């Protein structure tokens, strides 16, 4: 079979996120730099951008309504590197206060506040000992640097081709998969890829770094749903391997399917996509 | 965009970037009044924008116009980047004669523009920090500055390529003009959108500032900006206008990328903080 029977690589959001580990970063960059068909499902794009949006709102609320008033209550109008411990105390008190208050009422959890506090600390450590910076400038710097970072993280999600797929409830509730993969969002992303694969009748390879929920179950996902999942480092090997296969519908119509789960799943696909994959038993 | 140096808060102006004006083969204007003319034209255009805003509560339109005319003039006269853009605009206008000068200045100028846009994000952050304006205001305005930097990166890449063609055809006026025409065709789509973003953003920030000031002297000086002082429908409409034009520019930018954006490899404290925050939110 020609490589034309491969639709491409469906990417999990972790592949498009900045990687802190150099080795993982290099592998992802190398994989994404190749001239291959990379795309994301609409569910992944929406989820990632929504999460970034929520992060932005938490960030703004935390800085504007908690950090600034906390510093003002202590009468701190400007800071130098020498004030680091005072600032640390202010944040510590504010976190205790937040913990006492209900997170629903304040709309912010103290650990989120802590994440931003770390950034403020890094800015304070960079200040020169005797050169004060106004609290407003310090926090405005934090806001602008973090919103710029957020903008940079969003870019790959916006520039990559996104495919609108809406898997049916029967696919999303497919019991054998739901037993394996606990995270409902992951099931949605996997099912989007499978649905696209059968609808287009072209193989899809789902690329992720999620060992815990997806990669550790990759054999079962193939056996139950007919979807290949891999790390980016093995993606091109799977690609070469799968080019030898017939197109998905032909492949599953001819191959012996020992797993009852896959037979059951193909039945759902046939019903929902109005397809005939397995020969009818007369 | 321009920052009024005499003020502590950003005073945005809608500026047309003379540096990315169409490349034309006209004779170099020895017009020493070009700078003055550019100032007059910019003031006029900005006053038109001011008049498009809903009537202010605390001032008469005439009072505002007089004040803005004076302040914009002062701002432009102190704005080195504006002066430089007029100069580069003159080189663009007479590219056949001034090619060397144009290319000697354009990259540094764009670099300064990018720094300026980043500073504008800081200025809008400071303004937002001292306000109860909606998150959408901050997100929309800061994104509108950041997308301009993405455009400037594309512009630099394309103008570098065009410069090689122009140098190669400097003895063939017909071919030289053809390269200019091709350049102008793609740049026009962008400049149209950039102008709109600048205008819409200026109107939004002016609307917020004007309706949060009781005296002219309070304009663009530090104060707490309250959403309650604004008509919510007008505010949302003005934010929407900026968001819509920013999205249009973003679409053009994405369509003009040579290759898709890869995840950033600069893992600084900012990136780490945002990814940690995302993990905490989902966790």
Hey, which bits of B129-250 come out as E strands? none
In this prediction the pTM is 0.90
Closest residue, chain B, to A155 (C-alpha): B261
Task: Kindly determine whether residue B274 and residue A150, on different chains, have CB atoms separated by under 8 Å.
Answer: yes
- B166 and B260 in contact (C-beta within 8 Å)? no
**Alpha carbons B132 and A65: distance in angstroms, whole number:** 9
**Alpha carbons A159 and A134: distance in angstroms, whole number:** 38
Task: State how far residue A2 is from chain B, nearest Cα, in angstroms.
Answer: 26
Question: Using CB atoms, which residue from A29, A55, A148 is nearest to B146?
Answer: A148
Please tell me the predicted confidence (pLDDT) of residue A103.
55
Share of chain A above pLDDT 70, in %: 95
Report in angstroms the alpha-carbon separations of B232 from B17, B141, B211: 32, 17, 12
CB pairs under 8 A between A and B: 139
Tens of pLDDT, residue by residue over A175-210, are: 999 999 999 999 999 999 999 999 999 999 999 999
* Domain-located, residue B73: yes
| Domain carrying residue B187 | 18-282
Region A260-268: mean pLDDT is: 92
**Domain total in chain B:** 1
Nearest to A171, CA basis, from A226, A215, A246, A251? A226
Please tell me the predicted confidence (pLDDT) of residue B259.
84
Q: Which residues of A touch B250 (CB under 8 A)?
A: 158
- List the single best residue of B125, B145, B251, B254 to mutate versus A (max A Cβ within 10 A): B125
Question: Using CB atoms, which residue from A19, A140, A158 is nearest to B122?
Answer: A140
* Domain-located, residue B7: no
Hey, which bits of chain A come out as E strands? 6-11, 38-41, 78-79, 133-134, 161-163, 203-207, 228-230
* Domain-located, residue B57: yes
| Cβ-based neighbours of A99, under 8 Å, separated by 6 or more | A110
Question: Using CB atoms, which residue from B139, B142, B277 is nearest to A58?
Answer: B277
Question: Using CB atoms, which residue from A33, A115, A122 is nearest to B262?
Answer: A33
**Alpha carbons B119 and B148: distance in angstroms, whole number:** 13
Please tell me the predicted confidence (pLDDT) of residue B1.
36
Task: Kindly determine whether residue A158 and residue B125, on different chains, have CB atoms separated by under 8 Å.
Answer: no
Please tell me the predicted confidence (pLDDT) of residue B229.
96
- A72 and A82 in contact (C-beta within 8 Å)? no
Q: Strand A161-163 and strand A203-207: pairing?
A: unpaired
pLDDT at A281 over 80: no
Please tell me the predicted confidence (pLDDT) of residue B6.
35
B126 burial class (0-12, 13-18, 19+ CB within 10 angstroms)? Answer: buried
Closest residue, chain A, to B260 (C-alpha): A159
Interchain contact A152–B (C-beta under 8 A): yes
Tens of pLDDT, residue by residue over A54-104, are: 999 988 998 999 889 989 988 999 999 888 898 899 888 888 877 776 555
* Domain-located, residue B249: yes
Interchain contact A21–B (C-beta under 8 A): no
Tokens of A113: 């506040």
Phi and psi, residue A74, nearest 5°: -85, 5
Please tell me the predicted confidence (pLDDT) of residue B9.
47
Q: Strand A133-134 and strand A161-163: pairing?
A: unpaired
Q: Which residues of A touch B271 (CB under 8 A)?
A: 18, 149, 152-153
Neighbours of A38 (CB within 10 A): 20
* Domain-located, residue B182: yes
Task: Kindly determine whether residue A51 and residue B143, on different chains, have CB atoms separated by under 8 Å.
Answer: no
Please tell me the predicted confidence (pLDDT) of residue B109.
92
Cα A111 to its chain centre, rounded Å, is: 20
Please tell me the predicted confidence (pLDDT) of residue B260.
85
Closest residue, chain A, to B254 (C-alpha): A159
Neighbours of A236 (CB within 10 A): 16
* Domain-located, residue B4: no
Q: Which residues of B touch A64 (CB under 8 A)?
A: 128-129
Interchain contact A140–B (C-beta under 8 A): yes
* Cα dihedral: A136, A137, A141, A147 (round 10): 40
Q: Around A156, how many Cα atoms within 13 Å sit in the side-chain half-sphere?
A: 23
Task: State how far residue B46 is from chain A, nearest Cα, in angstroms.
Answer: 27
Task: Kindly determine whether residue B261 and residue A155, on different chains, have CB atoms separated by under 8 Å.
Answer: yes
Task: Kindly determine whether residue B126 and residue A151, on different chains, have CB atoms separated by under 8 Å.
Answer: no
Please tell me the predicted confidence (pLDDT) of residue B242.
97
pLDDT at A280 over 70: no
Q: Which residues of B touch A146 (CB under 8 A)?
A: 270, 273-274
Question: Using CB atoms, which residue from B124, B142, B282 is nearest to A51?
Answer: B282
* Domain-located, residue B241: yes
Please tell me the predicted confidence (pLDDT) of residue B14.
61
Q: Which residues of A touch B269 (CB under 8 A)?
A: 118-119, 122
Please tell me the predicted confidence (pLDDT) of residue B11.
55
Residue A264 zone, left/alpha/beta (φ > 0; ψ -120 to 50; rest): alpha
ipTM: 0.89
Tens of pLDDT, residue by residue over B193-224, are: 999 999 999 999 999 999 999 999 999 888 99
* Domain-located, residue B261: yes
10-residue stretch averages of pLDDT, chain B, 283 residues long: 39 59 65 78 92 92 93 88 86 85 91 94 95 97 96 93 91 90 90 93 95 92 94 98 97 91 90 89 78
pLDDT at A106 over 70: no
């Amino acid at each position: 079979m020609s490589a034309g029977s491969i639709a491409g690589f469906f990417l999990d959001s972790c592949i498009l996120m900045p990687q802190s580990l150099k080795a993982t970063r290099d592998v992802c960059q190398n994989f994404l730099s190749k001239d291959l068909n990379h795309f994301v499902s609409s569910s992944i794009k929406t989820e990632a951008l929504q999460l970034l949006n929520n992060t932005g709102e938490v960030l703004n609320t935390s800085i504007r309504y908690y950090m600034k008033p906390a510093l003002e209550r202590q009468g701190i109008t400007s800071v130098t590197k020498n004030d680091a411990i005072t600032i640390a105390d202010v944040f510590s008190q504010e976190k205790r206060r937040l913990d006492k208050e209900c997170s629903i009422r304040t709309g912010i959890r103290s650990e989120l506040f802590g994440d931003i506090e770390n950034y403020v600390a890094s800015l304070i450590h960079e200040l020169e000992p005797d050169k004060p910076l106004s609290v407003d400038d310090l926090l405005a710097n934090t806001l602008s640097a973090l919103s710029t970072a957020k903008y940079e993280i969003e870019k790959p999600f916006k520039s990559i081709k996104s495919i609108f797929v809406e898997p049916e409830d029967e696919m999303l509730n497919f019991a054998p998969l739901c037993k394996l993969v606990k995270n409902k969002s992951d099931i949605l992303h996997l099912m989007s890829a499978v649905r696209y694969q059968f609808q287009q009748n072209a193989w899809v390879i789902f690329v992720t770094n999620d060992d815990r929920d997806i990669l550790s179950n990759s054999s079962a996902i193939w056996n139950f749903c007919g979807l290949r999942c891999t790390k980016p480092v093995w993606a091109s090997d799977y690609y070469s391997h799968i080019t030898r296969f017939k197109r998905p519908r032909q492949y599953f119509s001819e191959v012996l399917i020992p797993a009852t789960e896959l037979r059951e799943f193909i039945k759902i696909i046939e019903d929902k996509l109005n397809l005939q994959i397995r020969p009818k038993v007369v | 965009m321009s920052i009024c140096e005499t003020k502590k808060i950003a005073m945005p102006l809608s500026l047309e970037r003379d540096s990315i004006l169409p490349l034309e083969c006209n004779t170099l204007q020895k017009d020493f009044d070009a700078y003055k003319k550019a100032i007059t034209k910019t003031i006029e255009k900005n006053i038109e924008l001011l008049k498009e805003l809903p009537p202010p509560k605390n001032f008469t339109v005439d009072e505002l116009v007089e004040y803005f005319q004076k302040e914009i003039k002062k701002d432009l006269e102190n704005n080195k980047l504006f002066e430089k853009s007029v100069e580069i605009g003159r080189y663009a206008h007479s590219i056949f004669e001034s090619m060397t000068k144009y290319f000697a200045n354009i990259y540094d100028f764009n670099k300064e523009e990018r720094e300026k846009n980043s500073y504008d994000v800081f200025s809008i952050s400071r303004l937002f920090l001292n306000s109860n304006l909606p998150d959408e205001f901050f997100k929309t305005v800061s994104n509108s500055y950041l997308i301009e930097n993405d455009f400037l990166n594309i512009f630099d890449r394309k103008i570098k390529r065009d410069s090689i063609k122009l140098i190669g055809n400097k003895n063939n006026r017909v071919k030289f003009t053809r390269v200019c025409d091709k350049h102008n065709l793609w740049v026009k789509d962008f400049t149209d959108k950039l102008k709109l973003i600048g205008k819409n953003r200026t109107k939004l920030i002016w609307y917020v500032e004007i309706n949060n000031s009781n005296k002219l002297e309070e304009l663009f000086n530090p104060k707490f900006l309250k959403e309650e002082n604004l008509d919510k429908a007008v505010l949302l409409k003005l934010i929407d206008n900026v968001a819509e034009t920013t999205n249009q520019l973003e679409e053009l930018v994405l369509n003009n990328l040579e290759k898709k954006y890869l995840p950033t490899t600069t893992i600084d404290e900012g990136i780490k903080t945002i990814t940690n925050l995302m993990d905490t939110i989902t966790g």
